[in-house]
């Protein structure tokens, strides 16, 4: 019996597409919250004037498949025939024996109702010659619309380039921003006994006065009960109420134009979501795990299902890596050194003679698998230094915590500093990804003083110093004081909620000191508003 034949493929297609029979997607496939990547993809897929295939690129478990299902749900709601919507995951072991054209022939001949079809391909990099076949599909079948996902960014980018510029739109799906995390956990929060008790304590005085009345009709009692529950529910979930208080025209880079009272108002508005910040830093970047009620189990899943599968299965298969143990050592070393400058020679010595070229190759592979960010050393003009040493950030602090099995980071000020800098880099990387420019760090050659994170673009430059500690004072020899151009935006990221300020310099420029949870939330909120508009 052939492994790949029509009968086997038909069974797989039916299993992956339950809406062909029911007309709807199973509820467990869908999530209520939609991320910025969803709105970007939706805008393209419904555009009738400019046709593009879409690829969603990101690490395992960041929610790429959920976005596909949400897009399918949108199409079903618009009245698209369910048989004209195909979903496949191409890391299916049986489908790997076939080619995309044969799979599509079987689908078209057996299921599709007409020529206007929508195809959703999960983990497309596992399909043979996928880029060549998609070029054929784009050119020959004008009524086909394809959305794909991939976990190996450069492989996907190279395939897109080879299949032709103008056919594809790449949308990056990072781990959850702090803004998205807050939305997710508050939307899924249960109004449990603890929340009810806390809510009753904080009821408005008017409702408390009504409770003191001894004799009330059943109807009045029912009205009072509904009023109490409504009040507690409204105050239990804060996100929508918070967002309404922040002007729609707000921009992070306009913070320097505020006075201290206006900045204080923003901090006070966001104070209720501070309670989520430490857990977000621990394991909040992956949607499914953020909702877990067992943090130890969530960390184990991160190690086994994300890190181990990527290092031991995905990367060897995609990049032809033979020595998995060296790959694991490199990644473990980078976890220990996350947010620090990497010296390849020192790293080679610490890894018992693993050569520098091998280390550099493996770092490229890890970046390709969306497990790390590489922050290049930039000079004073924002240009990459040829002999500069990179900083490495693990793509999400939750990954680092899981690999190093750290469950006490909140009491370790040094660890928290590393983790917050990692989170700030991830947010800024996403914030500027659609702009043309550079991103990295700056190190003054004379003083060896650094600016942790800098971005340079045509519109504006952002200089960010992370001081997540009790004393956030920055000395006058810090190079951030030298950055006083018209397009320069200067930030110091602090720990405590009352540690905010607007420091006026002699040049007229201002340095904005702002708590980390406030800064990250505002970056995510602005990102969402930009895509919604």
pLDDT digits (tens, 9 = 90+) for 29-80: 888 889 999 999 998 888 777 778 888 988 888 999 999 999 999 999 999 9
Q: What pLDDT band is residue 214 in, cutting at 50, 70 and 90?
A: low
pLDDT of 199 strictly over 70: no
Task: Please tell me whether residue 263 adopts helix, strand or coil conformation.
Answer: helix
Let me know: does 166 contact 140? Beta carbons within 8 Å.
no
What are the residue ranges of CATH 3.40.50.300 in the chain? 6-173
Give the DSSP per-residue string, 3-72: SS-HHHHHHHHHHH-THHHHSS--GGG--S---HHHHHHHHHHT-SSS--EEEEE--TTSSHHHHHHHHH
Question: How large is the angle between the packed helices 100-110 and 130-140, nearest 10 degrees?
Answer: 40
Q: Give strand pairing partners of 493.
A: 466, 514
Residue 83: pLDDT over 80: yes
The partner residues of 391 in beta bridges, in order of sequence, read: 341, 375
Residue 318: pLDDT above 90? no
Task: Provide mean pLDDT across the span 402-423.
Answer: 84
What tokens appear for 143 in the block? 């009524």
Amino acid 99: pLDDT: 87
> What pLDDT, in 10s, does the model give residues 391-408?
999 998 888 888 888 767
229: number of Cβ within 10 Å: 13
Task: Look at residue 502 in the predicted model and tell me its pLDDT.
Answer: 94
Predicted confidence at residue 189, as pLDDT, reads 56
Could you please state the CATH topology (level 3) that the domain comprising 6-173 is classified under: Rossmann fold (3.40.50)
Strand locations in 70-135, DSSP E? 85-89, 117-122
Q: How far is CA 218 from the centre of its chain?
A: 50
Instruction: Give this prediction's pTM.
Output: 0.85
Q: What is the phi/psi pair of residue 381, to 5°?
A: -95, 0
Mean pLDDT along residues 303-307? 81
Strand, coil or helix: 128: strand
Instruction: Give the neighbor-by-neighbor strand order of the sheet with 340-341.
Output: 340-341, 391-394, 372-378, 437-443, 450-457, 461-466, 488-494, 510-515, 501-504
Contacts of 201 by beta carbon, 8 Å cutoff, 6+ apart: none
Q: Which three-class secondary structure state does DSSP give residue 341?
A: strand
Alpha carbons 523 and 460: distance in angstroms, whole number? 15
Q: Looking at residue 493, what is its pLDDT?
A: 97
What's the helix, strand, coil split of the chain in %, to 5? 50, 15, 30
* Location of structure tokens 């004008």: 142
Phi-psi region of 448 (alpha: psi -120 to 50; beta: other; left: phi over 0): left
pLDDT at 222 over 80: no
Whose CA is closest to 281, among 176, 372, 370, 183? 176
Task: Write out pLDDT tens, residues 8-42.
Answer: 999 999 999 999 999 999 988 888 889 999 999 99
Percent of the chain with pLDDT over 70: 90
Q: Is the pLDDT of residue 202 over 90?
A: no
Q: What mean pLDDT do residues 274-298 have?
A: 85
Strand residues in 449-531 grouped as ranges (E): 450-457, 461-466, 488-494, 501-504, 510-515
Cα four-point dihedral sign 41, 306, 391, 388:
negative
Residue 407: per-residue pLDDT: 67
- Across residues 171-189, what is the average pLDDT? 86
- Whole-angstrom Cα distance, residue 519 to residue 87? 38
d(CA 364, CA 179): 29
Q: Is 193's pLDDT higher than 60?
A: no
Strand 340-341 and strand 372-378: the pairing is: unpaired
Q: What is the pLDDT of residue 177?
A: 94
Res 428 pLDDT > 70: yes
> What is the pLDDT, as a whole number, of residue 60?
84
At 153, the pLDDT band (50, 70, 90 cuts) reads low
Is residue 461 predicted with pLDDT exceeding 60?
A: yes
Quickly list H helices, 355-431. 356-368, 397-403, 413-431
Confidence of residue 157 (pLDDT cuts 50, 70, 90): low
From residue 104, give the alpha-carbon distance in Å to each of 5, 80, 100, 112, 483. Answer: 13, 19, 6, 10, 56
What tokens appear for 171 in the block? 């949308």
Phi, psi of 515 (to 5 degrees): -60, 145
* pLDDT in the model for residue 451: 93
Query: How far is residue 145's CA from residue 46's CA, in Å, rounded to a whole number?
Result: 10
pLDDT at residue 530, as a whole number: 84
């Amino acid at each position: 019996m052939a492994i790949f034949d029509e009968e086997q493929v038909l069974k797989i297609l039916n299993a992956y597409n339950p809406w062909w029979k029911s007309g709807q997607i199973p509820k467990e496939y869908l999530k209520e919250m939609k991320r910025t990547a969803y709105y970007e993809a939706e805008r393209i897929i419904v555009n009738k004037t400019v046709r593009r295939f879409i690829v969603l690129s990101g690490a395992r478990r960041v929610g790429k498949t959920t976005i596909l299902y949400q897009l399918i749900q949108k199409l079903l709601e618009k009245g698209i025939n369910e048989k004209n919507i195909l979903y496949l995951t191409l890391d299916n072991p049986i489908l790997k024996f076939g080619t995309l054209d044969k799979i599509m022939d079987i689908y078209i001949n057996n299921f599709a109702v007409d020529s206007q079809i929508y195809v959703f391909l999960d983990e497309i990099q596992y399909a043979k010659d996928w880029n060549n076949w998609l070029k054929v599909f784009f050119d020959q079948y004008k009524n086909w619309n394809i959305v794909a996902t991939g976990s190996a960014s450069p492989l996907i980018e190279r395939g897109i380039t080879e299949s032709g510029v103008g056919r594809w739109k790449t949308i990056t799906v990072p781990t959850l921003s702090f803004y998205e995390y807050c939305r997710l956990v508050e939307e899924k929060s249960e109004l449990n006994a603890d929340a009810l008790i806390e809510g009753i304590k904080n009821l408005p005085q008017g409702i408390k006065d009504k409770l003191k009345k001894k004799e009330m009709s059943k109807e009045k009692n029912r009205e009072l009960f509904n009023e109490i529950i409504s009040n507690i529910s409204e105050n239990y979930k804060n996100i929508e109420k918070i967002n309404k208080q922040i002007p729609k025209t707000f921009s992070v880079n306009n913070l320097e134009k505020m006075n201290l009272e206006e900045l204080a108002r923003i901090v006070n508005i966001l104070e209720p979501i501070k309670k989520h910040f430490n857990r977000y830093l621990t394991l909040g970047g992956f949607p499914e795990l953020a909702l877990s009620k067992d943090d130890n189990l969530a960390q184990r899943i991160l190690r086994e299902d994300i890190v181990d599968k990527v290092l031991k299965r995905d990367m060897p298969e995609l990049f032809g890596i033979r020595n998995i143990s060296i790959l694991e050592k490199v990644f473990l070393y980078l976890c220990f050194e996350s947010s620090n400058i990497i010296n390849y020679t020192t790293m080679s010595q610490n890894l018992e003679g693993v050569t520098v070229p091998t280390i550099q190759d493996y770092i490229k592979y890890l970046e390709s698998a969306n497990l790390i960010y590489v922050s290049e050393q930039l000079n004073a003009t924002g240009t990459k230094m040829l002999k500069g040493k990179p900083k490495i950030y693990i793509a999400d602090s939750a990954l680092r915590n899981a690999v190093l099995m750290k469950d006490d980071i909140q009491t370790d000020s040094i660890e928290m500093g590393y983790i917050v800098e990692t989170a700030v880099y991830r947010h800024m990387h996403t914030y500027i990804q659609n702009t043309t420019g550079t991103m990295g760090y700056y190190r003054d050659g004379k003083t060896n003083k650094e600016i942790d994170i800098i971005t340079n673009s045509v519109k504006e430059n952002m200089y960010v110093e992370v001081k997540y500690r009790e004393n956030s004072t920055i000395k006058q020899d810090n190079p951030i004081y030298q950055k006083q151009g018209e397009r320069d935006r200067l930030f110091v990221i602090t720990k405590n909620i009352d540690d905010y300020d607007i420091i006026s310099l002699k040049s007229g420029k201002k340095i904005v000191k702002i708590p980390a949870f406030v800064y990250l939330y505002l970056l995510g909120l602005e990102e969402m508003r930009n895509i919604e508009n």
